[in-house]
Homo-oligomer: A and B are copies of this chain.
């Protein structure tokens, strides 16, 4: 069926199929056969590209973590400080809701006990990025002077994680955008932002 497709295209197609299956059924409920079927290819093709199911899980989690909102922003040169913190949190929230590869990665991270492979450590990259942006924000006078940027970044990421989790469990993430805005109002007050309306 893919006789004319290049291997890289087939690999991408398989990964996208795996993302849909993992996001929907979780790690244990997904099989190579299901992934092959959704990718409209054969099990042999899947196993040619990925030796095991766990290899696909690792590839998806790595790809999601290297995405723009977690570590960098698309327009990193034009967005700075607190504006970039707010943009990053909104962007990750949108990805958790709308991007099946990110949703698959979030679910796989939650099920990491089941996966016989070392997944990247979650949160740390995003915490470091937000910490750096908070330093910029402090230098620009956007937040209270003397904040501990690392501690505040840890709390922003933790608060966000809890918001998306509870929104997911209680409302299937339907209220996630609204809950994130409520969170941002509270977080900006905590950071001593005197003109939150400039950023929200």
Chain A, range 156-190, C-beta contacts under 8 Å to B: 157-163, 165-167, 169-170, 179, 182-183, 186, 189-190
Q: How far is the CA of A182 from the CA of B155 in the complex (A)?
A: 9
Q: How far is the CA of A78 from the CA of B162 in the complex (A)?
A: 30
Say whether chain A's binding surface is mostly helix, strand, loop, or mixed: helix
Given A159-B158, A190-B189, answer yes or no on A165-B166 (Cβ-Cβ < 8 Å): no
Does any Cβ of B come within 8 Å of A67's Cβ? no
Given A165-B162, A182-B151, A189-B190, answer yes or no on A124-B157 (Cβ-Cβ < 8 Å): no
State the oligomeric state as a number of copies: 2
The answer to whether A166 and B170 touch across the interface, beta carbons within 8 angstroms, is: no
Q: How far is the CA of A165 from the CA of B112 in the complex (A)?
A: 13
What is the interface residue range for chain A against chain B? 20 to 34
The answer to whether B162 and A158 touch across the interface, beta carbons within 8 angstroms, is: yes
Question: What residue of chain B has the Cβ atom nearest to residue A186's Cβ?
Answer: B190
Given A155-B182, A160-B162, A182-B151, answer yes or no on A169-B122 (Cβ-Cβ < 8 Å): yes
* Smallest beta-carbon distance A182→chain B, Å: 6
* Smallest beta-carbon distance A168→chain B, Å: 11
The answer to whether A123 and B182 touch across the interface, beta carbons within 8 angstroms, is: no
Given A158-B165, A162-B162, A162-B163, answer yes or no on A29-B186 (Cβ-Cβ < 8 Å): no
Given A186-B155, A190-B186, answer yes or no on A123-B161 (Cβ-Cβ < 8 Å): no
Does any Cβ of B come within 8 Å of A33's Cβ? no
